[in-house]
Amino acid sequence: MSMSDKLSSRKNIKKSPGKTSFFHRLDVRFPWLKLAAVCLLGFIAIIDLLDLTVSKLSDPYDKIRIAPMSYHVRVTKRVLEGKMLVALTFDDGPSSATTPKLLDILYTEDVPATFFMLGNMARNNPDIVRRAESEGHVVASHTMYHQNLIRISTAAVRSDINEASTVFKDILGHLPTLTRPPYGNFNSTIGSIIGTPLILWSVDTLDWKNKSTDAIMETTLSQVHDGAIILMHDIHPTTVETVPTLISALRGLGYEFVTVPELVEIRGKKLTSGAAYYNFRP
């Protein structure tokens, strides 16, 4: 073979795809590596899947989230029938500074509540809104901007309500089914515009005014009754700090805690859109 033929032969060998590559030599010498690699990748995928499943199962909030509110209502109706009941309600939030701490307390105490949230506050804190609902609380509307509805035009009322409804639907995927008009002020026209039952209160803690645990406790305990709707505001740190003491005191008096929809269901009531409700006594 001539020198030119040898050089041509060497060039052809170099151009042959894969024959002298590292991966080709590895595949020839250790053919079982492909199978080992596939098995390893499969094992990693299974571990990731198990880890994801365990994480979901161990989520501390899942003990409430696994039961939709409709199921929760049916269960509590059987358990709480004939007992003294109160509904804790919180207005004007959610606040990034105080509402998460309140949710931590309610979770620890296993107490459901009803939050009448402002649309503008909800829009700024969507994760807190979702957390409240996912933990078994009821998220309701307190309008968009906390305006005194009887002092603004009908068109302004409608605009405020519609804007708030849009905010809650965007965050939660559904419209609020209950509304609390700011200051408790409304009339029949406003009720028809709002289009949901209006939930007022029978126990005013005056926590916005008397910002101390002792004052809030004294005011609340002097008014509390079976079927009471208790008004508080989760934007005040003193209110949040008082909640554990209040829960303990009310439990000591024999009260059980429910959301407003639970209270309605357990007491066998039917709500009408535009109508106002202050309590649900037996």
| Active-site residue, from 91, 92, 207, 234 | 91
Domain membership of residue 64 (yes or no) is: no
Position 29 scores a pLDDT of 61
What is the model's pTM?
0.75
Domain membership of residue 63 (yes or no) is: no
- Which of the listed residues 11, 27, 58 is the one where a domain comes to its end? 58
Amino acid at the residue 265: E
Position 79 scores a pLDDT of 79
Number of domains in the chain: 2
**Which own/partner contact pairs does 251-256 have at CB distance under 8 Å and 24+ positions apart?**
253/84, 253/221, 253/224, 254/83, 254/84, 255/84, 255/85, 255/86, 255/224, 255/226, 256/80, 256/83, 256/84, 256/85, 256/86
pLDDT per residue, tens digit, the chain (282 aa), is 555 554 455 555 444 444 555 556 656 565 666 666 667 776 766 655 555 444 333 333 333 333 344 445 555 666 788 899 999 999 999 999 999 999 999 999 999 999 999 999 999 999 999 999 999 999 999 999 999 999 999 999 999 999 999 999 999 999 999 999 999 999 999 999 999 999 999 999 999 999 999 999 999 999 999 999 999 999 999 999 999 999 999 999 999 999 999 999 999 999 999 999 999 999
**Same domain as 102, residue 196:** yes
Position 81 scores a pLDDT of 83
| C-beta of residue 87 within 8 angstroms of C-beta of residue 205 | no
Position 63 scores a pLDDT of 35
**Same domain as 205, residue 116:** yes
**Same domain as 53, residue 166:** no
- Which of the listed residues 58, 77, 102 is the one where a domain comes to its end? 58
Q: Beta strand 228-233 with 203-204: parallel, antiparallel or unpaired?
A: parallel
Q: From CA 12, how far away is CA 6, in angstroms rounded?
A: 10
| C-beta of residue 226 within 8 angstroms of C-beta of residue 85 | yes
Asked if 91 is an active-site residue, the reply is yes
Give the tokens for residue 196: 């949901």
**Same domain as 109, residue 20:** no
The domain spanning residue 80 has which CATH number? 3.20.20.370
Domain membership of residue 219 as a residue range: 69-277
**Same domain as 95, residue 19:** no
Position 12 scores a pLDDT of 52
Domain membership of residue 282 (yes or no) is: no
Position 25 scores a pLDDT of 60
**Same domain as 73, residue 43:** no
User: Under DSSP, is residue 155 helix (H, G, I), strand (E, B) or coil?
Assistant: helix
**Same domain as 115, residue 164:** yes
Helix axes 32-58 and 22-29, enclosed angle (nearest 10): 90
| Active-site residue, from 72, 137, 233, 236 | 233
Asked if 170 is an active-site residue, the reply is no
**Same domain as 53, residue 124:** no
- Which of the listed residues 12, 37, 58 is the one where a domain comes to its end? 58
